[in-house]
Structure 1
Amino acid sequence: MGTVVRRNERSWAIEIISQINGMLKRLNIRIRKAGGESTLSVNKKSMFPDVLLYADEAQMKILQGWELKMPDVLITDEAFIKDAARKAEALGLNSFVLWNFTYGKLYTRDEDGEFTEKKTWDATSYIRTREDVYTFRQEWLFVLEEIILTVNEYLVSGDISAVSITEVLSDNLITRLIRRNKAMTAEYMEDSARRDMKMEVQLKLWWNAFREEYDNDEKDMYQAYAKTVLLNWANRILFANLIRRYHNCADLIGSIDETSVPEEGNAIIRSITEQGDFYNVFRQMEYNDRIPEDTWIDLVDYNQFLYTNRIERIDQSVLQNVLEHTVHVAKREIRGQYATPYSLADLLCQITVRNWMAPCADLCAGTGTIAKAVIQNKLKRNPDPKVALDTTWISDKYAYPLQIANIALTSIEMLDTPINLFQKNVFELKTGDDVVLKSPTDGSDIIRQLPPFHAVVSNLPFVKYNKRALDEEEYIQKIRQSVWNHTGITFTSGKEDLYIYMPFQLYGLLEQNGRLGIILSNSWLGTDVGNRFFHALLHYYHMETVVLSNSGKWFENAEVVATMVVLQKKEIAPPSSDERIRFCLLNREVRKLSAEEMETVVASIVVGRELEKNLLSMTEYGLEEIEMIQSSGITLNALFHQLTWLGELRRHLIPVKELLEVKRGERRGWNDLFYPKDIEKVEEEYRRPVLKRPASLKSYMAYADTGAFCCHRSKEELRQMGHSGALKWIEKFENIRNGTGKLLPDALKRPGGFWYEMEDDTKAEFVTALNPDKRLFVARFPEETFVDQRFTRMIRRREGVSADLIHALLNSVYGMFAIEAIGFGRGLGVLDASSTRLKQMYMIDPADISAEDEKEIIRLFERIRDRDVLDTKEELQDPGRREFDRKVLESIGCGHLYDKIRESLLSMQRTRHTVL
């Protein structure tokens, strides 16, 4: 790349810096030094001012930046002014000076945060050309000194303030570097990939692994990779500069200057690694040299700014803060959906670990938050950092998160102590494995054996079944077979999320009676796969505690709802019937817990006793009780909500499927064809009334809201019959393609039917929405009606049971509870209550109700039947509804359970909606 600036302009900038420093030696003023020559890149808008004024010789306090131009650039040039303001903002400065040898101008920030002109120097207004700069050198030097003295006056008066170098490092400098360069770097990489098939494939593999981490702010693979590459460079450069005082080899970072290119930059950092390790920090990302020249100039400027300002001389505790802020910026820029908040990590560690002196690990470490919480908790019990680091093990499958983790875990006080941090897929680990670490002092190999762990604490990867990596399928198959061999429980659908398999792998890495604390999606609490997972876990572990948030989401960027599970390893065997499990609701936002409140929550979980209900509520069940609850069609998700009353009611319950056939509504696809807006153009015999929109379902009575096209005849039959309306309607869609490019006749074809055919015998007597929210009810049609796929439809299996009574019982307070209890909350607060789950639901048995009570129940239900259904809380406050609900329960001798059922129902809904 060679020299990247126009030497004449740069020479003048260096000359001005030199002249200012000469003046400062004879002037006893607050300004102590001038600098900035190392970051001059005048062929591009540099990140830093051309001249920096400092309040100290050590260059730890920046006072002001100057922006320099030659006389052919007007002092009023808008771009000139904006560029200077941008650089001042980047450094957190409240003033800047413009100088073009003709004029000088001082700008300061006003109360509104805008930069306004405060002072103008025009004594050399006769300087008009570059030649004049040479000719009138002595004259502008006088003006230069006048500017310096005036700036000093503003400094003394407090109108101009200094910014410490640590503030600069902690206030978005890396973020600004990324935002300046992300787009151009992404474009450059995309262009490179067009010329390099291997690069394109490698980046696609990376994107498949990390895509979900960027879903909240980066939708484009190249933009995401460019951001990560820029972070990788910035973090390596900053870390090398920070450790210069402690590791001489890191001084090589100064060689990344305007004469270097990216390949040389990587070689310089490799040399530092060979002499002093920190391999996980300094490891280069693949294709990190495929960056545009202007981006490299910015990285060089950034490095030279850090190098010439000697940031390694900052106080040790402040350096530690800079490291922590670097981690924060990296996490903020990537915005990982499932990055563990420290407060959550701390809580999980404290409720899992019992022996803080024993080996602990996070083997899905990500950016190291849980590992940091483990180390901090160890240091509270034993202040020797060497012990804490020696007994904590950290690994992850991917390299980039480990860079952030290594920085997060680095202690300036313990730079010479190796960290047990390494890159490995958790499925490949075995106790006793040799792990090769590097000495931070000389880069030599340190070989340590992976010990059996007292505790593994991890936020397990939230990877959906369809995004599992191909290289993990072999491990998954082995675990699947092992679980079957030991328990007779099988995972065979192929649709299990990755976390399902990990506890069985981690089992082998724990010591006898070792402890496992994990964060999981809440889906295991409400699915068939989750139920098998739960019962398989009980063969391997004692399940002590399950924790769910009852106050906000734990992961701000993600829609997923999470749980914490604490387990203790046992001999693999069927669970004992006397085992008990605690289900806890955390009733305060974990990040808002004070130290005392966190201590109370931890104590409550550790001792297994509800200490302060407003912080943590707890319900404990024996396995036989859980089995009874699950056999009543209720998911594990409901166990947080005090279901101890269910035993009394259980004998009066019957599976819904004994009385009703339960199926999903008609699922066909391509609504424009099957639900015509102008249905009247089709002959009447091909029109069917249908309930299509969930919003139309408002009361306990249901009615069709549109017309559907249902034709079971061939096109030839339609021609012969002269049914041109239906024929034209079909032909209108014959040449239309779906979203994947397939013609509709191919995309919609079904065995034994025409591609345009929709069955109209999927009728319903009763209907409910698939994903209800605040309104839980089952509606009834006046006569059987065709329904769309967005509903669950029900029809009586036999005529002997009163439809009126079934309808009333399904909508009683227990019926509402049963609907809520068959599913679990999704991230947006809606209930996941599919048709499959509704088939498992139980209802109050109509056979247990006398003829006399039946009449009264129907009469009371009819009083509320024809009004719109209210949100659950308001519904249960309705006097007519309360009278009806109490009568239903009294008719089976369970009237005293009304308040308990009601509270369990409302509690479930509150928790489900807490994620909003």
Structure 2
Amino acid sequence: YCIYNSIRFLKKDGFLSAITSNAWLGKEYGFQFKKFMLDNFHIKYIIRSNAEHWFSDSKVSTIFSVLQHGQSTESTKFVTINFKLAETFNQDNILIQLKEVEDFYTDIDNCNNPKHSGWKNDTTFHNLYHKTDNSISVSIVSKEQLENSLVEQKNWDTFFISADLLEKFDQQLIQLYPNIFTAFRGERTGWNEMFVVSSKEVLTSGIENIFLIPYVKSPTELKALGFGGNYKNYLFVCSLPLGKLKTNYPGAYKWIQRFENKKNKNGSKTIQETCKGHKPFWYSLRPKQANIVTAINPFERFFFSFSEKPFTIDQRLIAITVKSKSDVELIAALLNSIVTFLTVEMRGTSRNLGALDLNANYIKTLLVLNPALLTVNSIKEIKKSFQPLKTRKIKPIFEEVKQPDRINFDKTVLKAFGINESILTSLYQLLSTAVRNRVTMKER
């Protein structure tokens, strides 16, 4: 609100500095905000800290932006600082502190000056610069790249590393939604006690199998990339009238009777009243079913677990349904490649407590290695190398990238798409560093 209204008070070329949440860098609602800033300001600096939270009692991750009123074609510097402010800037003398801050910005402005011995160019990304003592990193992003990012719906959080972070894969990436798969978030049942039936209750309740659909309730249930057959819960789904149930399906009928007059915890409503919007009956659900699932707030584990047999999910998960003519296992394999994991980490929005914040719309816009580019033999090789990963336990990414089967799988995928396998070590390092910075931030 303050930034929107600031142009009424700022003179041309006047400056505005603001600390805000980092959410607008990647969230959908940030589009209009970014456009407003690009139309009205030169965004000189966007600064984040990898060393500390600037507000220790806040659960919001923050960034510091410096804006200059008026149009400009100059680039924006995305700055990452790896030091604590109080340990670097003088806390006793304001005049000394102001001089130190001025020197800080001068130093940043000269990061790409080849005569400045205090800086070095990154070995992978040409517009990324590091202080030789690794205290500061600066990624320089052009105005054109920022404007193009609005069309491409890029998360500006990736710009702290590079505006061209995934340019090495541009020719191989494609959006699989909506032609290959659909994506959605799990839905609320309205009354889990009735609709979510544990595997133990299935054995004792007498509910007929035709009314039970496999149900994934929590990301913790997903131990491996391949799953199916050992579900902890099932969803009760019934669209038959009570009369028919009473005659032909006594198990389901008794289950409904058990709950029809039950009230919620505060005693204000019965389940029938709470679920009166369900169709065709209050005890009916019409859940979407999926083949692939991932966590809505991934932490250290990255996964797109899958099953050939469709299942349903809780609202804490994001589901993908692969269309009938597409290969579920191949799509799952490509989603579980290092390229996808890196894309998810770099384009997702980080929460203060360390988890990424994803949603179904994010998955819809996710760029994935294009399966149409693969030969029949390449598909066979990818699936073959994917087999060991399907059955073993999913590990935190720091351990995952050290596993021989993971390394072999990612090398196979890169080779299949004509990407030099020698880049794999750098990709692993980049992902591991980004995840470590995210998950340990809450401790700083």
Secondary structure at the counterpart of residue 34 of structure 2: helix
- 2:362 & 2:191 partners in 1: Cα distance? 26
Is it true that 1:893 corresponds to 2:426 in the alignment? no
Measure how far apart 1:583 and its partner are. Answer: 1.1
Structure of greater relative contact order (alpha carbons < 8 Å, 6+ residues apart): 2
Change (3 A) 1:722 1:625: closer
Hey, what does 2:174 align to over in structure 1? 654
Measure how far apart 1:564 and its partner are. Answer: 0.5
Superposed CA deviations along residues 559-611 of structure 1, whole A, max 9, x for unmatched, are 1110101110005xxxx6x5421111111232332549965644434555554
Hey, what does 1:726 align to over in structure 2? 253
Higher helix proportion (structure 1 or 2):
1
Structure 2 contact 141–163 (Cα < 8 Å) conserved: no
Query: Could you tell me which amino acid in structure 2 is paired with residue 878 of structure 1?
Result: Q
Query: Could you tell me which amino acid in structure 2 is paired with residue 865 of structure 1?
Result: K
1:831-842 aligned at under 5 Å gives the runs: 831-842=356-367
Structure 1 contact 710–759 (Cα < 8 Å) conserved: yes
Hey, what does 1:515 align to over in structure 2? 15
Secondary structure at the counterpart of residue 38 of structure 2: helix
Superposed CA deviations along residues 358-382 of structure 1, whole A, max 9, x for unmatched, are xxxxxxxxxxxxxxxxxxxxxxxxx
Hey, what does 2:237 align to over in structure 1? 710
Query: Could you tell me which amino acid in structure 2 is paired with residue 586 of structure 1?
Result: I
Structure 2 contact 238–284 (Cα < 8 Å) conserved: yes
Measure how far apart 1:714 and its partner are. Answer: 3.0
- 2:255 & 2:395 partners in 1: Cα distance? 44
Structure 2 contact 40–70 (Cα < 8 Å) conserved: yes
Is it true that 1:581 corresponds to 2:102 in the alignment? no
Superposed CA deviations along residues 602-643 of structure 1, whole A, max 9, x for unmatched, are 443455555455211111112333455666664112221235
Structure 2 contact 75–142 (Cα < 8 Å) conserved: yes
Q: Structure 2 residue aligned with 1:570, among 70, 78, 98?
A: 70
Structure 1 contact 632–841 (Cα < 8 Å) conserved: no
Measure how far apart 1:720 and its partner are. Answer: 4.4
Structure 2 contact 182–321 (Cα < 8 Å) conserved: yes
Change (3 A) 1:708 1:752: closer
Is it true that 1:635 corresponds to 2:155 in the alignment? yes
Measure how far apart 1:543 and its partner are. Answer: 0.6
Taking only the aligned residue pairs, the percentage that are identical comes to: 25
Query: Could you tell me which amino acid in structure 2 is paired with residue 747 of structure 1?
Result: T
Measure how far apart 1:662 and its partner are. Answer: 1.0
1:479-498 aligned at under 5 Å gives the runs: none
Structure 2 contact 275–283 (Cα < 8 Å) conserved: yes
- 2:232 & 2:410 partners in 1: Cα distance? 30
- 1:512 & 1:838 partners in 2: Cα distance? 41
Hey, what does 2:322 align to over in structure 1? 796
Change (3 A) 1:740 1:813: farther
TM-score, normalised via structure 2 length: 0.84
- 1:666 & 1:763 partners in 2: Cα distance? 11
Change (3 A) 1:740 1:841: farther
Query: Could you tell me which amino acid in structure 2 is paired with residue 554 of structure 1?
Result: W
Hey, what does 1:745 align to over in structure 2? 272
- 1:867 & 1:621 partners in 2: Cα distance? 41
Query: Could you tell me which amino acid in structure 2 is paired with residue 587 of structure 1?
Result: N
Change (3 A) 1:793 1:891: same
Hey, what does 2:117 align to over in structure 1? none
Measure how far apart 1:798 and its partner are. Answer: 4.3
1:393-408 aligned at under 5 Å gives the runs: none
- 2:30 & 2:379 partners in 1: Cα distance? 38
- 1:541 & 1:612 partners in 2: Cα distance? 31
Structure 2 contact 175–367 (Cα < 8 Å) conserved: yes
Superposed CA deviations along residues 811-862 of structure 1, whole A, max 9, x for unmatched, are 1100111222342111211110111211110101012222222222222222
1:153-164 aligned at under 5 Å gives the runs: none
Query: Could you tell me which amino acid in structure 2 is paired with residue 888 of structure 1?
Result: V
Q: Structure 2 residue aligned with 1:772, among 256, 278, 298?
A: 298
- 2:348 & 2:260 partners in 1: Cα distance? 38
Measure how far apart 1:751 and its partner are. Answer: 5.5
Secondary structure at the counterpart of residue 365 of structure 2: coil
Query: Could you tell me which amino acid in structure 2 is paired with residue 758 of structure 1?
Result: L
- 2:255 & 2:131 partners in 1: Cα distance? 72
- 1:643 & 1:733 partners in 2: Cα distance? 57
Query: Could you tell me which amino acid in structure 1 is paired with residue 239 of structure 2?
Result: H
Superposed CA deviations along residues 142-192 of structure 1, whole A, max 9, x for unmatched, are xxxxxxxxxxxxxxxxxxxxxxxxxxxxxxxxxxxxxxxxxxxxxxxxxxx
Structure 1 contact 629–646 (Cα < 8 Å) conserved: no
Measure how far apart 1:539 and its partner are. Answer: 0.5
Superposed CA deviations along residues 192-240 of structure 1, whole A, max 9, x for unmatched, are xxxxxxxxxxxxxxxxxxxxxxxxxxxxxxxxxxxxxxxxxxxxxxxxx
Is it true that 1:561 corresponds to 2:64 in the alignment? no
Query: Could you tell me which amino acid in structure 1 is paired with residue 276 of structure 2?
Result: K
Q: Structure 2 residue aligned with 1:813, among 335, 338, 356?
A: 338
Secondary structure at the counterpart of residue 13 of structure 2: strand
Structure 2: state its 5+ residue gaps. 91-95, 113-129
Is it true that 1:782 corresponds to 2:308 in the alignment? yes
Hey, what does 2:121 align to over in structure 1? none
1:869-880 aligned at under 5 Å gives the runs: 869-880=394-405
Change (3 A) 1:806 1:732: closer
Change (3 A) 1:752 1:863: closer
Hey, what does 1:674 align to over in structure 2? 195
1:585-596 aligned at under 5 Å gives the runs: 585-593=80-88, 595=90
Query: Could you tell me which amino acid in structure 2 is paired with residue 749 of structure 1?
Result: K
Superposed CA deviations along residues 299-343 of structure 1, whole A, max 9, x for unmatched, are xxxxxxxxxxxxxxxxxxxxxxxxxxxxxxxxxxxxxxxxxxxxx
Measure how far apart 1:915 and its partner are. Answer: 2.6
Measure how far apart 1:711 and its partner are. Answer: 1.8
- 1:889 & 1:740 partners in 2: Cα distance? 58
Secondary structure at the counterpart of residue 877 of structure 1: coil
Structure 1 contact 693–705 (Cα < 8 Å) conserved: no
Hey, what does 2:408 align to over in structure 1? 883
Hey, what does 1:622 align to over in structure 2? 142
- 1:730 & 1:589 partners in 2: Cα distance? 62
Hey, what does 2:214 align to over in structure 1? 689
- 1:739 & 1:774 partners in 2: Cα distance? 38
- 1:820 & 1:829 partners in 2: Cα distance? 12
Structure 1 contact 691–705 (Cα < 8 Å) conserved: yes
Structure 1 contact 702–781 (Cα < 8 Å) conserved: yes
Superposed CA deviations along residues 428-457 of structure 1, whole A, max 9, x for unmatched, are xxxxxxxxxxxxxxxxxxxxxxxxxxxxxx
Query: Could you tell me which amino acid in structure 1 is paired with residue 281 of structure 2?
Result: F
Structure 1: state its 5+ residue gaps. 1-500
User: What is the RMSD of the two structures over their aligned residues, measured on CA atoms?
Assistant: 2.6
Structure 1 contact 633–842 (Cα < 8 Å) conserved: no
- 2:253 & 2:195 partners in 1: Cα distance? 11
Structure 2 contact 197–234 (Cα < 8 Å) conserved: yes
Superposed CA deviations along residues 651-689 of structure 1, whole A, max 9, x for unmatched, are 211102131111122322321111134233142132222
